[in-house]
Each structure stands twice: as structure tokens, then as C-alpha cells.
Amino acid sequence: MEEKFKEFKPTSWAIDNKTSIYILAIIISVFGMISYNSIPKEQFPEIVIPTIIVNTIYPGTSPSDIENLITRPLEKNLKAINGVKKVTSRSIQDFSSVVVEFGTGMEIADSKQKVKDAVDKTKSSLPNNLPQDPMVMEIDLSEIPIMYMNITGDMTLDKLKKHAEKIQDKIEGLKEITRVDIVGALDREIQINVDMYKMQAASVSFTDIERAISAENVTVSGGNIEMQGMNRSIRVVGEFQTMEEIKNIQFKSSSGAIVTLKEVAEIKDSFKEQESFSRFNGKNVITLNVIKKSGQNLLDASDKIHTIVEKLQKDELPTSVSIQFTGEQSKFTRRTLEELNNTIIIGFILVVIVLMFFMGVTNAVFVGLSVPLSMAIAYIVLPGIDFTMNMMVYFQTAKRQNGYCTSIESCCRRGFCTNFIGYLNNRCTFCSVSILAGYGW
């Protein structure tokens, strides 16, 4: 009786077309390397949290009044939104926060718009003297800074801020960066400290002073004029340029007398009350929080930022200005990526070492090549399914590769190496390696 064997047709085709298999393997390797260099690399994947937060500020109000005047009217309309899973709120002194949680099937943009519509509907029930409208915001993990740049120097914070703004403008010009926030800096403020006794003696009110300053500090359009066959716009610039211009503002009092601002008030070029603070190594510093665009390459952004800083320190910034980087996500991403590459190399070496005793060096190398070849296929597929190289992909890839090496070793221990020898009886069995690579991923 003739013994029949079940034929695996892809392997038979690979044996008959070894040249095509070699070319296919080379093409996969080349495109895999190209895709690896171009695919965005991030620390975290893009995670959408279907939660919207509504914050309202009402200074000078107790928690009970905040709840009755703001929180409850907002909750009433927010709960009526279709798709809302849960609404929680918190009322504290001067502040109300309402958290709206939607189902996972809701689009975050649509959910945010529905919340905004509900808040607009509630405005008529809210107090009329709110300093600003309720703020509607979403939870976006891409807003987490990728690095913190601490700027120090032997100078005051206001002078240090000028250098920080110069660095901010350069970094925000990168396509990978959404914005750069400045923390710990002083904001300039022109203070007009009115003397109550002088103001009463001159019959001047706060409204007179406010109206006089706002009327002078404006830039208005003066219309158009035709010159040499061309229409040109005329602009009257009235914004203050110096402190003397502010001090010499003149206006009429209620008695009809002409009053100069410096006669009833002290004008100081000062700073706003500091609301944000940043310290590094026990010193007050200015910190730049760098926020990357979602889906952009973290490593490229970090390298470009370091290049910009090095160039600025060399050519434009004073030698006393020092910039220290903290909280760099790129360091962890780069280290994880190196560990993944090392896993691929070690997996290839271990597979070859284990199999060379049973199958010979040549066939063991072919099987071992399925480890990097499977990674090349993965790198080609990832951009097509809109994935980036992030921590989750690193972990799953390393896990799959380790599992593949373990399964090869298990086959050898159980005496199943004849299966590999049957498929790899000559050099033209690269098709089976490609199939192993596919299942390895």
C-alpha cells in the first residue's frame, strides 16, 4: 500500500520558485527598514477618554451657594444629553466642577459639542456677574508635556523671560510641536495707584480715569487715500509706548477742570501677582512645558529641540543662561526601542544556536531569520492600520518574539524537528520561513 503525504502547497511552490522567494524576502526587509525609520515613535498610544469637564469660577461664593446657583442648573441640562453614562460634580469655595462621562461608542468631538450646547442653554439660569463663562474641556493625554526645560541664569526673572520667549518661538516652529507653555515667569503690568484724597479733591471718579485711559490707548483706522493710482490704508496708532505718555493723560473732571493723571495717581511699571511658580535645585527658574502633536515622532521632536537649544546657547543666549532638561519621555522611548531591537537580535541568535544541532547551520539560520523578517512585516503593516510605535506595541512585540523562540525550543525538545527538516531540505524553502514570520507576529 502506497503511503500518501499531505502536501503543503505554499511550501511546494516556494521550493519550485526559490528565486522569487529570495526576492520577496529582500523586498520585505527593505520596505520593513524604510517603514521602521518613518513610523512615528511615541511613549504612549493615543487614548480617547470619553469624559468632558465643565469648570466654573465664581469668586466670593460659599460651597452651598456654588451648588445651588451653578452646579445644579448645569447638572440638570447635562444629564439630559443623549449618551451620557454618568454625571458627577464637586462644589467648593469659588469653584464648581461637573464631570460628564459618556459611553465608549461616542465620538469625543460630538460629545464636547453637545456639552457646550447644554452649557449655553444653562447660561440664562446662571448668575449674571460671572467673571467668565463656564469652561468646557476634554481629557486629552496628548497634552502631557514630553519634556520640561528649566531655564536658569544670573539675572532677574523678567529678563530671563525674554530668553525663554525666544526659545519658545523657535520650538513652536517645529511641525511636531503643538505649543510650549511658560511656567514661573513674571507678566508685565502697568499699575495705576490712585490717591483717594487727591481724586476727591479734583472731583474725579474711577470711571473718569478708566474712560480716559481706554480712549487714549487705541489704534483706529483712518480710512483710505488714493496715492499714485493706488489705494492706501491710513492707520492712527494711539497705543502707549512709554510711561510718560500714560502719566501725561489729560481728562476733564466733573467740575470741568483739566486733570493730568499723574496729579491724582502713581503710575508704576511692575508685574502681575505671580500665579505659577517653578523651582529647580532650590532656585526659582522659568520652565518651558513642551507639548507634542498627537501622532508625531517623539524621538525626532526631541532631537530637533536639543539641536535648537545647542545652537541658541552657542550663538544667541548669554553664557550665564543654563538650560536643564527634565521629564524627557524620549529617553524612556529610546531605551525601550533599543531593548526591542536587542530582543530581535537575541531571538535570532538563540533560535540559530538551538536549531543548528538538529538541522544544521544553514537551515537554522533560515528559521532564525523569521524573527527579524516577522518584525519587518509588522513594521510594514503598522502604518496601514494607523498604529505608531509606542509602549503597548513594544510590549506586545517583545512578548510575541519571546513566545516564538519558546515554541521553537519546545518543538526541538519534543522531537518535532523532522517537520522543519521536511520543509527546509534545501536553500529554496524560504517561503515556509515567511509563513512562520507571519504566524510569529
Q: How many C-beta atoms lie closer than 10 Å to residue 424's C-beta?
A: 23
Same domain, 164 and 304: yes
DSSP structural state of residue 389:
B
Q: Given 140, 169, 204, which residue is the final one in a domain? A: 140
CA 241 – CA 251 distance, rounded (Å): 19
Lowest-confidence region among 88-97, 257-266, 400-409: 400-409
Which residue shows C-alpha cell 492712527?
Answer: 236
Confidence of residue 160 (pLDDT cuts 50, 70, 90): confident
DSSP H helical segments within 221-260, as ranges?
A: 243-247
Percent of the chain exceeding pLDDT 90 equals 7
CA distances from 36 to 31, 109, 299, 307 (A): 8, 31, 13, 23
Say if 431 falls within a structural domain: yes
Q: Clarify whether residues 389 and 318 are in a common domain.
A: no
Range of the structural domain that residue 292 is part of: 146-187+274-326
Read off the CATH number of the domain in which 402 is found: 1.20.1640.10
* Count of structural domains within the chain: 4
Does 371 share its domain with 346? yes
What's the confidence (pLDDT) of residue 393? Answer: 66
Report pLDDT for 429. 33
Model confidence band, residue 438 (pLDDT cutoffs 50, 70, 90) = very low
Q: Could you say which of 303, 326, 349 is where a domain stops?
A: 326
CA gap 154, 152 in Å, rounded: 7
CATH of the domain at 259: 3.30.2090.10
Residue 441 predicted with pLDDT over 50: no
What is the average pLDDT across 188-192? 86
Query: Per-residue confidence at 406, pLDDT binned at 50, 70, 90?
Result: very low
Please check whether residues 300 and 312 belong to one and the same domain: yes
Q: Is residue 432 part of a domain?
A: yes
Same domain assignment for residues 181 and 293: yes
Q: Kindly report, residue by residue over 277-322, the tens digit of the pLDDT.
A: 888 887 888 899 999 887 788 888 888 999 999 998 888 888 888 8
Q: Which CATH number belongs to the domain containing residue 178 in this structure?
A: 3.30.70.1320
For residue 248, give the 3-state DSSP assignment: coil
Confidence band of 392 (pLDDT split at 50, 70, 90): low
Looking at the structure, do residues 87 and 180 belong to the same domain, yes or no?
A: no
Q: Is residue 121 part of a domain?
A: yes
- In this predicted structure, the answer to whether residue 326 has a pLDDT above a threshold of 60 is yes
**pLDDT at position 64 over 80:** yes
Per-residue model confidence (pLDDT) at position 364: 76
Whole-number CA gyration radius for the chain: 34
Query: How many CB atoms lie under 10 A from the CB of residue 261?
Result: 21
- The CATH number given to whatever domain includes residue 83 is 3.30.70.1430
Q: What predicted TM-score, i.e. pTM, was given to this entire model? A: 0.67
d(CA 97, CA 139): 14
DSSP of 290-324: EEEPTTS-HHHHHHHHHHHHHHHHHHTS-TT-EEE
CA nearest to 257, candidates 192, 201, 193: 201
- The predicted-structure confidence for 25-62, as pLDDT tens digits, reads as follows 888 888 888 887 877 777 767 777 888 999 999 988 88
Overall size of the chain counted in residues = 441
pLDDT band at 95 (very low <50, low <70, confident <90, very high): very high
Cα distances (angstroms) measured from residue 196 to each of 209, 212, 213:
12, 17, 18
222-252: pLDDT as tens digits: 778 887 778 888 777 778 888 888 888 888 8
- Looking at the structure, tell me whether residues 182 and 59 fall in a common domain: no
Q: Average model confidence (pLDDT) for the chain?
A: 79
Residues 341 and 431 in one domain: yes
226 lies in some domain: no
Identify whether 407 is part of a domain.
Answer: yes
Higher-confidence position of 193 and 221:
193
Check whether residue 132 and residue 253 sit in a common domain: no
- pLDDT tens digits for 99-148? 999 887 778 888 888 899 999 888 888 888 888 889 998 887 777 888 89
Among the listed residues 142, 106, 153, 394, the one whose alpha carbon sits nearest the alpha carbon of residue 291: 142
**One domain, residues 87 and 130:** yes
Q: Is residue 231 part of a domain?
A: no
The pLDDT of residue 436 is 40
Residues 159 and 304 in one domain: yes
Residue 269 binned pLDDT confidence (cut-offs 50, 70, 90): confident
Is 2 part of a structural domain of the chain?
no
Burial class of 363 by CB neighbour count within 10 A (0 to 12, 13 to 18, 19+):
buried
Residue 218 has pLDDT above 60, yes or no: yes
* 343 closest CA partner among 405, 388, 391: 405
Residue 151 counted as domain residue: yes
278 and 168 in one domain?
yes
Q: For position 138, what pLDDT does the model report?
A: 85
